[in-house]
Amino acid sequence: MNLGISALNYVNAIKNNEFTVEEFIFESLEHINHVDEKLHAFLRINDSAIKNAKEIDAKIKSNQNVGRCYGMPISIKDNICIEGSKTTCASKVLENFISPYTSTVISKLHSEDAIIIGKTNLDEFAMGISTEFSAYGPSKNPWNNDYVPGGSSGGSGVSVAANECIASLGSDTGGSIRNPASFCSVVGLKPTYGLVSRYGLVSYANSIEQIGPMTKTVEDSAFLLNIISGIDPNDNTTIDNKNQDYLNNIDAGVSGKKIGIVTEMTNSDGLSTDVLDANNDAIKTFEKLGANCEQVSLQMVPYTVAAYYTITSTEAGSNLARYDNVRYGYEFDSSGFEFNSYISQARSKLGPEVIRRMILGGFVPSAGHAGKYFLKALKVKSKLITEIKHVFEKFDFLISPTVPIQPFKFGEKINDPVSLMMIDFNTVTANLTGIPAISVPYKITNGLPIGIQIMANHLGEHSLLQAAYALEKTVDLPEVSI
Amino acid sequence: MKSLVNEEEISEVAKLMKIDLEDHSAHIKRVQKMLEYFDILDKANVESEEITVQEIELDKLRNDKHIPFGKNLLKFLKSYQGKYVKAPKLN
Give the A:B interface size as CB pairs under 8 Å.
Answer: 153
**Does a structural domain hold residue A456?**
no
Decide if A77 is catalytic.
Answer: yes
pLDDT tens, position by position, A150-161: 999 999 999 999
CB contact under 8 A, A356 and B56: no
Give contacts of A237 with chain B, Cβ < 8 Å.
Answer: 54, 56
**Does a structural domain hold residue A438?**
no
**Does a structural domain hold residue A398?**
no
Residues A183 and A238: their CA atoms lie apart, in Å, by: 29
**Does a structural domain hold residue A292?**
no
Q: Is A473 on the interface with B (CB under 8 A)?
A: no
**Does a structural domain hold residue A35?**
yes
Residues A231 and A242: their CA atoms lie apart, in Å, by: 9
Interface of B with A in 2-61 (CB under 8 A): 5, 9-10, 13-14, 16-21, 24, 26-28, 30-31, 33-35, 37-38, 40-44, 46-47, 49-52, 54, 56, 60-61
Q: Is A81 on the interface with B (CB under 8 A)?
A: no
pLDDT tens, position by position, A301-328: 999 999 999 999 999 999 999 998 887 8
Provide the CB-side half-sphere exposure for A171 (13 A, CA). 34
CB contact under 8 A, A417 and B16: no
DSSP A233-255: TTBTT----TT--TTTTTT---T
pLDDT for B39 beyond 60: yes
pTM: 0.97
pLDDT for A348 equals 84
Give contacts of B59 with chain A, Cβ < 8 Å.
Answer: none
**Does a structural domain hold residue A412?**
no
Instruction: pLDDT band for A173, please (50, 70, 90 cuts).
Output: very high
**Does a structural domain hold residue A256?**
no
Cα distance from A207 to chain B (closest Cα, Å)?
9
Closest CA to A77 of A33, A30, A124, A36: A124
Decide if A176 is catalytic.
Answer: yes
DSSP B14-76: HHHTT---S--HHHHHHHHHHHHHHGGGGGG--TTPPPP-----GGGSPPS------S-GGGG
Domain with A78 in it: 7-249+461-472
Give contacts of A431 with chain B, Cβ < 8 Å.
Answer: none
pLDDT for A343 beyond 50: yes
The dihedral sign for the CA sequence A459, A6, A232, A67: positive
Q: Are B37 and A418 in contact (CB under 8 A)?
A: yes
pLDDT for A451 beyond 70: yes
Q: Are B8 and A340 in contact (CB under 8 A)?
A: no
CATH number at residue A122: 3.90.1300.10
Least reliable range by pLDDT among A163-177, A188-202, A254-268, B8-22: B8-22
Instruction: pLDDT band for B4, please (50, 70, 90 cuts).
Output: low
Cα distance from A349 to chain B (closest Cα, Å)?
10
Decide if A91 is catalytic.
Answer: no
pLDDT tens, position by position, A56-90: 999 999 999 999 999 999 999 999 999 999 999 99
To probe the interface with A, which of B49, B53, B90 has the most A CB atoms within 10 Å?
Answer: B49
pLDDT for B1 beyond 60: no
**Does a structural domain hold residue A211?**
yes
- Quote the number of domains for chain A: 1
Q: Are A278 and A471 in contact (CB under 8 A)?
A: no
Backbone angles phi, psi at B52, to 5 degrees: -95, 140
- Residue A374 CA to chain centroid, in angstroms? 25
Residues A452 and A389: their CA atoms lie apart, in Å, by: 22
pLDDT tens, position by position, A32-58: 999 999 999 999 999 999 999 999 999
pLDDT for A436 equals 98
Q: Is B74 on the interface with A (CB under 8 A)?
A: no
pLDDT for A115 beyond 70: yes
CB contact under 8 A, B14 and A379: no
Q: How do A258-262 and A292-296 pair as beta strands?
A: parallel
Q: What is the mean pLDDT of residues B68-83?
A: 80
